[in-house]
Amino acid sequence: MQYINAFWVGGLICVVGQILIDKTQLTPARILTGFVVAGVILGAFGLYDPLIDFAGEGAAVPISGFGYLMCNGVKEALSSDGALGILTGGLTSAAGGVSAAIFFGLLAALITRSGDK
């Protein structure tokens, strides 16, 4: 049942994004930014935690999960490091994912050949 919940919740988040692309004049960059900000706001008010508990990676993998991750990192660093945690918490919590994205992007660039379309 956990896989089914992850599938439909993650799919629902993607459907909301697709509806915003199709029915509004918002650019994809603004929609992505909106999802990150929504993840931060829902995480700040403790509303994203129950969604993560229910759907697991179906709620953590979409871009709103990145905002939630940043929010949790800031909250934890703020409680342990004080005001310095405001600046370092989000970077520390997302460092693994960002490093992996940079590494695999570089690896893909080295393996493939770019070309004009």
The residue behind tokens 């909106």 is 34
**Rounded to whole angstroms, how far apart are CA atoms 66 and 45?**
16
For 3-56, the pLDDT digits (tens) are 999 999 999 999 999 999 999 999 999 999 999 999 999 998 989 999 999 998
Per-residue pLDDT tens over the stretch 85-111: 888 888 888 888 889 989 999 999 999
The residue extents of the domains of the chain are 2-111
- Please tell me what DSSP assigns to residue 82: T
The pLDDT value given to residue 81: 86
What is the per-residue pLDDT for 94?
Answer: 84
* Token duo for residue 5: 């919940």
What pLDDT does 91 receive? Answer: 83
Is residue 94 within 8 A of residue 70, CB to CB? The reply is yes
Q: Is 115's pLDDT higher than 80?
A: no
Q: How confident is the model at residue 113 (pLDDT cuts 50, 70, 90)?
A: confident
Considering the entire predicted model, what is its pTM? 0.77
Angle, to 10 degrees, between the axis of helix 48-55 and the axis of helix 2-23?
A: 120
